[in-house]
Amino acid sequence: MTLAAPRRNGTPPPTNILTMTPKVFLQVLPQVHEHLRHWTDLARAIPSPELRKQALASIADKTFHCEGGGTYGLLAGDRSQEAIRFIVAYQTISDYLDNLCDRSTSLDPDHFRLLHTSMRHALTPGAEPDDYYRLGDEQDDGGYLAALVRTCQVVLAGLPGYESVVPYLLELADYYCDLQVFKHVRQEDRVPLLQTWFDQHRKAWPPMAWYEFAASSGSTLGVFCLVAYACRKDCTARLARDIRDAYFPWVQGLHILLDYLIDQEEDRRGGDLNFCSFYLNRRELVARLSHFYRQADSSISVLPDRGFHRLVVRGLLGVYCSDKKIHGQKEVRIAARRLILLGGGSGVFFYLVAWLYRRVAAGDPRPATR
C-alpha cells in the first residue's frame, strides 16, 4: 500500500531532473562546502600528525560523498539546513574512521569497534563521548571526533520526528559498524567473519549472498533519508519502517555494489576485499546489480516523494558509471554500459552531468568510497 504523502513542511522536494539539478548546485553544494571548510579548519588543528593527515585526507578525497548525501537535505522542507549540517558531520565521521581503519597497523577489532561507537553516539543525543582512541597508538585529535559527534547530536535533539526514526537509525548504524570491523581485521579472518555475521541475519532478509548483505550494510544513505524525514513534523514510525525496508538492502546495496564495481582493479592491486570480485563472471555481476536496481526502484514506490527517490537511484547509476577509473577496466566498462541503460533517459542525464562535473568543475574527484 502506498503511503499518503506527509503534509509539507516548506518547499516540496524536487521530483524531476529539471527541478532537482539547480537545487543541488545552487542550494545543496554551497552549504556542503561551507560545512566542509569548517571541518577542514578543525582538522588542521589536530595535534597528532597521523590523525591530522587522515582527517584532512578523508575530506579532500571524499568530498563527493558529502555532496551526494547532502541531496537528502532537499527532503527536509524548512529544516534542510539542519539536515545538511547533520549529513556532512555524520559522513565526515564515516570517511575519517574508514581512513583510520584502512591505514591501521594494529588490525585489532576491539580498536575498530571502539572507534565506531562514535557513530552510534552521534545518533544518540545526550550520549557522552568516549575516549575513542584509547586502544590505538595515535590518541590526540584535539577534540575533532567529539565535535563531529556533538554536531550530529545537537541536530537530532531538535528534530520533531527523531523518536520515530531512532530504532532504524541505530539498526543501520550497527550494520555499518559491524561491517567496518569485520572487513578491516586480518586478511585471512575477513571472509569467515563476514559469512558468520551474515548467517546470523540472513533469515530476516530476502535471498542474497553474504557479500551482497555486507555491501548493503556499507552505505549511509538510509540514515540520511531517515534524518531528512525526521525533520518533518508528521514523520511516523510506519514511514520510518518503510524507509528502512526500501533502503536496506536494496538502495544501499546498489550504492555500495556500484562503488565496489569501479574499484575492482584498485582493490586487486592493494589486496583489499572487494565484494564484486565474488561474482562468478560479468554476466552474474550485471544480473545481480540489475536485480538490486529493480528491487530498489520497486521498493521506493511506496514512499512519499517517490519521484525524488527514483532520481536518487538513477543518479547512483549515472555517478558511478561515469567514473574515470572505469576506462582502464574493460570488463567493468562493458558492465557499466549495460547498467547505465537501466536508468533510461534520467540515468543518461545524470551520467553526463556527473561526467562534466568531475572533469570540469571539480577537477575529477572520485565518487564516494566505502
pLDDT in tens, the chain (370 residues): 444 444 445 678 998 888 998 999 999 999 999 999 999 999 999 999 999 999 999 999 999 899 999 999 999 999 999 999 999 999 999 999 999 998 877 789 999 999 999 999 999 999 999 999 999 888 999 999 999 999 999 999 999 999 999 999 999 999 999 999 999 999 999 999 999 999 999 999 999 999 999 999 999 999 999 999 999 998 999 999 999 999 999 999 999 999 999 998 888 887 889 999 999 999 999 999 999 999 999 999 999 999 999 999 988 988 888 777 887 788 888 888 888 888 777 767 766 776 676 666 545 444 443 4
Q: What angle do CA 63, 294, 301 make, to 5 degrees?
A: 85
Any domain includes 9: no
Q: What pLDDT, on the 0 to 100 scale, is given for residue 370?
A: 42
In a domain, 3, yes or no: no
C-alpha cell, 79:
529544516
Cell 558531520, residue? 89
User: How far is the first Cα of the chain from the last one, in angstroms, to the nearest whole number?
Assistant: 33
Instruction: Print the domain residue range for 272.
Output: 17-361
Asked whether the CA dihedral 254, 295, 335, 338 is positive or negative, the reply is: negative
Give the model's pLDDT for residue 163: 97
C-alpha to C-alpha distance for 113 and 180, rounded to whole angstroms: 8
Residue 155 lies in a domain: yes
pLDDT on residue 352: 72
- Compute the distance between CA of residue 27 and CA of residue 13 in angstroms, rounded to an integer: 12
**Who's near 168: CB < 8 A, 6+ residues apart?**
222, 226, 240, 241, 243, 244
How much is the pLDDT for 367?
A: 43
Total domains in the fold of the chain: 1
Check residue 56 and give its pLDDT.
98
Which CATH number do you get for residue 264?
Answer: 1.10.600
pLDDT of residue 334: 85
Whether 12 maps to a domain, the answer reads no
Which candidate, 290, 238, 237, places its Cα nearest to that of 261? 290
- Does a structural domain hold residue 227? yes
Please check whether residue 369 lies inside any domain of the structure: no
What pLDDT sits at residue 369?
38
pTM passes above 0.75: yes
In a domain, 370, yes or no: no
- Rg value, the chain, Cα: 19
- Among residues 272, 265, 134, 298, the alpha carbon closest in space to that of 191 is found at 272
* Cβ neighbours of 43 (radius 10 Å): 24
Q: What pLDDT shows up at residue 361?
A: 55
DSSP 106: S
Helix 344-356 vs helix 306-321: crossing angle, to nearest 10: 50
pLDDT attached to residue 354: 67
Specify whether the CB–CB gap between 326 and 332 falls below 8 A.
yes
Indicate whether 247 belongs to any domain.
Answer: yes
